[in-house]
Structure 1
């Protein structure tokens, strides 16, 4: 991390995966695809007055470094409305603002280099299915051997 809070991350999708929920971040970021394929979908929120529309609750995401918590902020139901969808291949770049809601799907073997800005908020928002209450989960730890093997694999893939 440098003195202004910016950090670089290598994000690796070993298997095909999609973010489990629509969310935003506490920071803005720019991401460059080093390998693979991503689909990034951005959303706007609409307040739902009709309980038949389904919808979601806004939860606050917080973490202590070993676990993360999702705590609904109110009982108000919202609906995520798709704003844009981008399909990106190796060499593509995209940026997200801190409060921009999105969900990303990555093909197996996708690798991105993420330049994250400094924190501009204390929490991030996550949309939870209506009726889901607060939760706390542990992060899945990665051993140093697993991390090193993954980095070697990524370097071979992007070379």
Structure 2
């Protein structure tokens, strides 16, 4: 992911003029994600294989729970610093005995229009076998395969460009302490046009 390409995508989103290789995003509305970052759709590739986003963390924030994604993604850090704690996880049918410190309940997560659905009916348990944390500062790039369990933490002001692949299944998975600790999902607040343009200009400035 070269800086010229990132800059071209950001500029296209700012000016709403897309080249032959880019199309407007499917959902152009920028929102504040419940995990504490702004999620701003930028564009999608003409062949439909990737969707491009800008993520901006306004405060120090971390994912509420470890989780995976339905898709692979690649990311470039434009500003600030964030970390990902990756986890090697074994998922199996739930046991009836007491739960260890590194054992979690697996909830299947699937967003629907106007709501978030968490399903623990399969009674799956996950054991975290290993954790490792990677820190990424401005100028660094990284990628993650689909279905990799992780938790992200970002410093206030961190900004990343994200290229997301096609979904490889219908749901993601979230690791919970128990069946009663279902996440409380806050509403996704939309950003107005002025805020959207400001973040796009900040991202272009970060690229220099």
Distance 2:136 2:193 in 1: 30
The alpha-carbon deviation at position 90 of structure 1 amounts to 0.7
Query: Residue 173 of structure 2 aligns to a residue in which SS?
Result: strand
Structure 1 unaligned segments of length 5 or more: list them: none
Matched, 1:109 2:157: yes
Matched, 1:152 2:176: no
Structure with bigger gyration radius: 2
The alpha-carbon deviation at position 91 of structure 1 amounts to 0.8
Structure 1 residues 92 and 17: alpha-carbon distance in aligned structure 2, compared to 1, 3 A threshold: same
Residue in structure 2 matching 1:87, options 135, 138, 141? 135
Runs of 4 or more above 4 Å deviation: 47-50, 133-136
The alpha-carbon deviation at position 28 of structure 1 amounts to 0.2
TM-score, normalised with respect to structure 2: 0.67
Structure 1 residues 104 and 18: alpha-carbon distance in aligned structure 2, compared to 1, 3 A threshold: same
Instruction: Identify the structure with the greater strand proportion.
Output: 1
Distance 1:73 1:80 in 2: 21
TM-score, normalised with respect to structure 1: 0.85
Any conservation in 1 of the 2:70–2:169 contact (CA below 8 Å)? yes
Query: Residue 53 of structure 1 aligns to a residue in which SS?
Result: coil
Any conservation in 2 of the 1:69–1:134 contact (CA below 8 Å)? no
**Structure 1 residues 45-54 or 20-29, which shifts more?**
45-54
Residue-pair matches, total: 159
What is the match of residue 17 of structure 2?
Answer: none
**Structure 1 residues 24-33 or 45-54, which shifts more?**
45-54
Distance 1:83 1:144 in 2: 40
Structure 2 unaligned segments of length 5 or more: list them: 1-43
Q: CA RMSD in A?
A: 2.3
**Relative contact order: is structure 1 or structure 2 higher (C-alpha 8 Å, sep ≥ 6)?**
1
The CA deviation string for residues 66-109 of structure 1, in whole angstroms up to 9 with x for no partner, is 43222225323323243321111111111110011111100001
